[in-house]
Chains A and B, each alone.
Chain A
Amino acid sequence: MTETLTPPLYNREDSTEESGIDTRIPSPTGRVLERAAVFLQDKADRVQQRAIVNEHSSAHTEALAEYREQNRGAYTDHLTRLSSPDNTNQPAREFGQRELHRENRREHREEMLDKAKSTMRKFGRSALNKLGKAGLITLGLGVIAGETAVKSTREAAKSAKVNIQSRRNERARAKQERADALRREAELRARAAAERKQARRERWAKRREGVAEKYNSVASFTKAQKGRLGHLAARAHASGQAAIDTWKNY
């Protein structure tokens, strides 16, 4: 992979064509060029390696996500093996450590959400009470459209000489039209609300991942920090494994 740039050489006094041994020494300029070439080659190798890892990671991540869905226990075991200090493949080991940490956080979060499940209604009720009292939420449905329809119905009934049955029919028709208009408006509002909800959830997930990433840059940790992280990861793995076992036995 690495091609070594041959530095320009000057003939040394003891070099000979017959011997075939090149005993020339690099000139000062040659040495500079040689160092520059090695530096650039090293940089290129690292960029290429990162690209390979990224490409590998991207396809790898998709496959792992699918694997995770199918068999969470085996997925976590796989990450544990990847992140093992015995794994000599550094990019894979770091990937494993990151994903294991992320998985442990995910499991911990899911445990907490499970605990909160029984009282989610309580949170929602509390929110509705507070916001309702403050007048901050509305049903916001077709007030203007309804008023217009009612007004035109009244005026039509006043001005026209119609019998009672016709007026009843007219009121029923107007009510049906109002209901149809209300439903259309409600469906439009619901679609817009669903899009906002999806965007919010994606933003929250990214924010959580961002916080997780801050603690995931293992490479920059000190030895003591790594030791603590390893201990925490082991504990998290144990609790994660316990959660998986519970899940398996559910």
Chain B
Amino acid sequence: MNQHPLITRELLDKFGISLEDRDETSFLEHLNSTLEERIGTEITESLDDDQLKALINLQENGSDEEIGAWIEQNVPELQQISQDEIDILLGEVAENSDTINKTQE
């Protein structure tokens, strides 16, 4: 998991979401891993076939640092992609916050 997860307990609290500790931990893990996966998916969608092939090769043979550097160089819209995925996920959390709270009752 990301060492500095973006979605935190404080954020859930701001949305008025209140969960039991154990549920909250697994819910946060789920949200953060979903975010990572969605951003990763969009990154691969943005690449043409040759770039995708190059990234797959790097994934098999390169380090995390090299992969990160390659993505930064070859995905010019990386910031917008990431920000939009964050906004979309938080929108989903917001939309379902009542339901999430109700599961605790």
User: Do chains A and B interact in one complex?
Assistant: yes
Binding site for B on A (CB under 8 A): 105, 108-109, 112-113, 115-116, 119-132, 136-142, 146, 175-176, 178-180, 182-184, 186-194, 196-197, 200-201, 204, 207-208, 211
- The 13 listed contacts between A and B (C-beta, < 8 Å) are A116-B52, A116-B55, A123-B44, A127-B81, A128-B35, A129-B4, A130-B78, A137-B86, A141-B90, A175-B16, A180-B16, A186-B94, A197-B84
Residues of A within 8 A of B41 (CB): 120, 124
Contact (Cβ within 8 A) B56 A112: yes
Q: Bound state CA distance, A128 and B38, in angstroms?
A: 11
Contact (Cβ within 8 A) B49 A200: no
B43 contacts A by Cβ under 8 Å: yes
Binding site for A on B (CB under 8 A): 2-4, 6, 11, 14-16, 33, 35-46, 48-49, 52-53, 55-56, 59, 64, 67-68, 71-72, 75, 77-95, 97
Contact (Cβ within 8 A) A116 B59: yes
Q: Bound state CA distance, A178 and B13, in angstroms?
A: 11
Contact (Cβ within 8 A) A200 B52: no
Residues of A within 8 A of B56 (CB): 112, 115-116
Measured CB to CB, the nearest residue on chain B to A201 is B45
Contact (Cβ within 8 A) B6 A119: no
Q: Bound state CA distance, A122 and B15, in angstroms?
A: 28
Contact (Cβ within 8 A) B78 A127: yes
Contact of B35 among A124, A180, A201 (CB under 8 A): A124
A-B contact count (CB 8 A): 172
Residues of A within 8 A of B35 (CB): 124, 128
Can you name 12 extra interface pairs (CB under 8 A) apart from A176-B16, A178-B14? Answer: A113-B44, A120-B43, A120-B44, A121-B36, A123-B43, A130-B68, A130-B78, A131-B78, A141-B11, A187-B94, A194-B91, A196-B84
Contact (Cβ within 8 A) B94 A131: no
Residues of B within 8 A of A121 (CB): 33, 36-37, 40
Residues of B within 8 A of A105 (CB): 49
Contact (Cβ within 8 A) B49 A193: no
Contact (Cβ within 8 A) A208 B49: yes
Q: Bound state CA distance, A191 and B35, in angstroms?
A: 16
Measured CB to CB, the nearest residue on chain A to B49 is A109
Q: Bound state CA distance, A183 and B80, in angstroms?
A: 21
Q: Bound state CA distance, A127 and B11, in angstroms?
A: 21
Contact (Cβ within 8 A) A190 B92: yes
B59–chain A nearest beta-carbon distance, Å: 5
Q: Can you list the 7 inter-chain pairs with the closest CB atoms, starting with the nearest?
A: A190-B91, A120-B40, A179-B16, A124-B39, A124-B36, A124-B40, A123-B40
Residues of A within 8 A of B84 (CB): 193-194, 196-197
Contact of A125 among B2, B14, B93 (CB under 8 A): B2
Given A121-B37, A141-B90: A108 touches B49 (CB 8 Å cut-off): yes
Contact (Cβ within 8 A) A192 B87: yes
* Candidate in A184, A186, A208 with the most chain B CB atoms within 10 angstroms: A186
Contact of B2 among A129, A186, A200 (CB under 8 A): A129
Q: Bound state CA distance, A108 and B43, in angstroms?
A: 18
Contact (Cβ within 8 A) A137 B94: no
Contact (Cβ within 8 A) A197 B88: yes
Residues of B within 8 A of A123 (CB): 39-40, 43-44, 55, 67, 71
Contact (Cβ within 8 A) B87 A190: yes
